[in-house]
Amino acid sequence: MLEIALIDKAYFKNIYFIPNLGGNDWTNEDNIADLNDSILIFSTLYLENLLGEELAELFINAINTGVTLETRFEALKNQLVDTVNLQSSFTGYIYFYHTRKNAVVSQNVGDTRGKSDVVTIVSEEDKQIPAWNEMIKKTRKIVKWLEENNDDYPELDCNSLAFTTINSFDI
């Protein structure tokens, strides 16, 4: 599993916006800690689906060591993460699963979903689906790049079934 995050809360903007990540109060700190956990967990899953277990393990181990990366892994990292524009192909993947995880809260009485008399709660799908589908577009570009550079990534074993578009009609 990734121990060093490739992205942080700054990447969650525009369609990937997650509220309560700014400021210094305890609520924001808890939300940031929760997002940081999600980043490590879901980045790892994304990489395993994108690269296959063998290549993902090699890449993750290289990242976790924190030393200068092999040329092929540096090139891959640069494809995955744009540090100038704060964009990444896996931000949507993390966003989708992070918001899905937090849509239902487990309590002593069972699992609950938020409700308020003052606001109308809408389905998280309204934001998750466009975020997911945007991630799919970016991921397809990464897969194409990996295939064009297949000599550098002979271990590649992409799980293409993990990267299909979705819609609210489930068709």
pLDDT tens-digit profile of 34-56? 999 999 999 999 999 999 999 99
Tell me if 138 is assigned to some domain.
Answer: yes
Domain assignment present for 1: no
Q: What is the mean pLDDT of residues 119-143?
A: 87
Q: Are 157 and 53 in contact (CB under 8 A)?
A: yes
Is residue 67 situated within a structural domain? yes
- Does some domain include residue 107? yes
Q: Which two tokens mark 160? A: 């293409």
35 found inside a domain? yes
Residue 168 lies in a domain: no
Query: For 66, which DSSP code?
Result: T
Is 101 inside any structural domain?
yes
| Structural domain boundaries, residue 134 | 9-162
Greater confidence, 69 or 123?
A: 69
- Of the two residues 60 and 114, the one the predictor is more confident about is 60
In a domain, 42, yes or no: yes
State the pLDDT at residue 122: 58
Find the angle CA(122)-CA(41)-CA(166) to the nearest 5 degrees.
45
Report the C-alpha gap between 56 and 158 in whole angstroms: 10
Could you give the percent of the chain with pLDDT greater than 70? 87
pLDDT at 168 over 90: no
What is the number of domains present in the chain? 1
**Residue 115 pLDDT class (50, 70, 90 cuts):** low
| Contact residues for 157 (Cβ-Cβ < 8 A; gap 6+) | 51, 52, 53, 54, 55
Q: How confident is the model at residue 129 (pLDDT cuts 50, 70, 90)?
A: very high
Q: Which residues are within 8 A (CB) of 160 and not within 5 positions of it... i.e. 6 or more apart?
A: 143
